[in-house]
Chain A
Amino acid sequence: MINLHWLYVLAGAVFAGFALGSARDETNAKRWGNAAFWLLLTVSFWFGDYVGDIGNGVLVLAIVAIAGFHLIGRGSKQSATPRERQESSARRGNWLFLPALLIPFTAFVGTLLFNYTPLKGLNLIDPKAVTLVLLGCGVIIALVVSYAWLRPPLLAAIDEGSRLMNGVGWAAVLPQMLASLGVIFAAAGVGTTIGSIVGAIIPQGSMFLAVLLYALGMVVFTMIMGNAFAAFPVMATAIGIPILIHADGGNPAVIGAVGMLAGFCGTLMTPMAANFNIVPAALLELKDQNGVIRAQVPTALAMLAANILILYVAGFHL
């Protein structure tokens, strides 16, 4: 059965490629720092299960030290001039989209195959890893097709991949670091503390204020933790279930579903949700690290108001 470990082997190899590509870029004054950074991720993917928790902890500190002491930079190497790209684009036409679309297409077809056909019962892929395995398959297929068609120099994919990877830089590891921070927060009891604070300030007698506090609590706690999943059990236990459902008789399906969606409004407004907010800013080469959040705040606030209204009306008056 194909499980996550196969993917970790693949990912480790790709990061080793990024390390090699970074080392080859003489236009980057800090290229050895970049190479070391990506090589440490290879170590994590390949050997993370064998070096123990302390070993992984030391690995994390090393990764953080390289980024924290500004030992990584980015080069200015351009493999193709704008003119060459323009010509290639004109010559090859819309076929250029094909390899790029092979990745989502593989995910699409694969998800359908493994969820709705007898393939599901064969246990070819670990169910927990299906989406990532399909991503890996899509990448391999797209690479093979691109090499067969475009015939680039052997190391082109590594060089080009490193160019983009070094553009993202340390932000690439931030989501994983924040997930680790969440583990520490849970171990230190941050969630229960916040739940008890919120539980202590519940207004008496006003259903609307209780709804408001529940939704705002979801937003604020989500912004702190970076995802609504950590916030939901805490807020449901503090307000959602005892006050809104049991005491005020709210519809549990609405309180649950829309409460989570109120939390998603918080996800749109926090740098802690790095993979949605900080990483795309780096990936799109925005000057402002918080540019994506700025673009989302008006939508998030309007959606918060909408969700509070839905909670109040559908939860108690339908």
Chain B
Amino acid sequence: MIDYWPLLGIALVVAGFAVRFNPLLVVAVAAIVTGLLGHMPFMKVLATLGHGFNENRYVTIIWIILPVVGLLERYGLQERARALIGGIRGATAGRLLIVYLAVRQILSALGLTTVAGHPQTVRPLIAPMVVAAAEKQHGELDEETVERVKAMSAATDNVGLFFGEDIFLAIASILLIQGSLASFGIQLTPFQLSVWAIPSAICAFLIHGTRLLLLDRRLGRHR
């Protein structure tokens, strides 16, 4: 007989996010409820939560980059990014992001996933450049359009990363696939697996690239 009660934790997360309680609070409550429903005593739940948090500290290290980004913004980094794009004829939001998508996919495929990212490149460089290009195409942007263009910059970074990194042989997900299949006696090399990430990478470039061109059309229309 399978015990379905721990799944209630998932329902709690979905409901908590939906009604917009503070997500940290939602996740902590869901973790404790799931543990208790899974027949763990409270102190064991608390210890597991603390252990998990401590083991995953590396996820939060990325923020050490903010003092550099903030310092350069004080001296006009975002303004500079805008000025640079303003000086390039034919630069549009969509074309800029298509170039970034290709670069991000290629770098990720070479295993250079941390060369770019939201704190490293999107906030200080890409987003201000794309907003500046959109202003050139469209004139003054309303708030909704600025939001959409910024969100598309972040989305492009994610798409480029996700559908590029698996082409690299030594990435964690490829090793995980290899390990999972090996435990069932199916032996594959990382190369055999990573080659099959290429069709999806090409599809991602075509699909997301098309959406970026459509973004350009929408920005140009209201001129």
Contact = CB atoms under 8 A, between A and B. Distances in A.
A284 B127 contact: yes
A88 B64 CA distance: 24
Most chain A CB within a 10 A radius of its CB, from B38, B51, B70? B70
Interface stretch (A2-10, A27-35, A117-125, A201-209): A2-10
B68 A260 contact: no
Given A179-B52, A252-B186, A89 B83 contact: yes
Nearest to A187: B48
Contact of A164 (B7, B52, B66, B80): B66
Contacts of B10: 190, 224
Most chain A CB within a 10 A radius of its CB, from B10, B120, B151, B194? B151
Given A11-B61, A68-B24, A44 B158 contact: no
A100 B124 contact: yes
Contacts of A1: none
Contact of A104 (B115, B180, B195): B115
Interface in A224-253: 224, 228-229, 232-233, 236-237, 241, 245, 252-253
B140 interface: no
A7 B166 CA distance: 27
B141 to A, nearest CB: 14
B68 A99 contact: yes
Contacts of B112: 107-108, 111
Interface string B143-174: 10001101111110111001100100000111
Interface of B: 2-4, 6-7, 9-10, 13, 17, 20-25, 27-28, 30-31, 34-35, 37-38, 40, 43, 45-81, 83-84, 111-116, 118-125, 127, 143, 147-148, 150-155, 157-159, 162-163, 166, 172-174, 176-178, 180-181, 184, 186, 188, 192-197, 199-200, 203-204, 207-208, 211
20 contacts: A11-B63, A44-B53, A57-B51, A57-B53, A58-B50, A68-B28, A94-B84, A96-B72, A107-B112, A135-B61, A146-B68, A161-B71, A162-B70, A170-B24, A241-B186, A257-B195, A267-B158, A280-B157, A284-B122, A306-B200
Given A54-B46, A107-B112, A183-B51, 15 more contacts: A48-B54, A54-B50, A108-B115, A131-B114, A139-B65, A175-B59, A184-B35, A189-B38, A229-B173, A229-B176, A256-B177, A268-B159, A288-B147, A292-B151, A310-B200
The list of the 6 closest CB pairs from A to B, nearest first, reads A188-B38, A160-B70, A56-B50, A89-B76, A57-B50, A183-B52
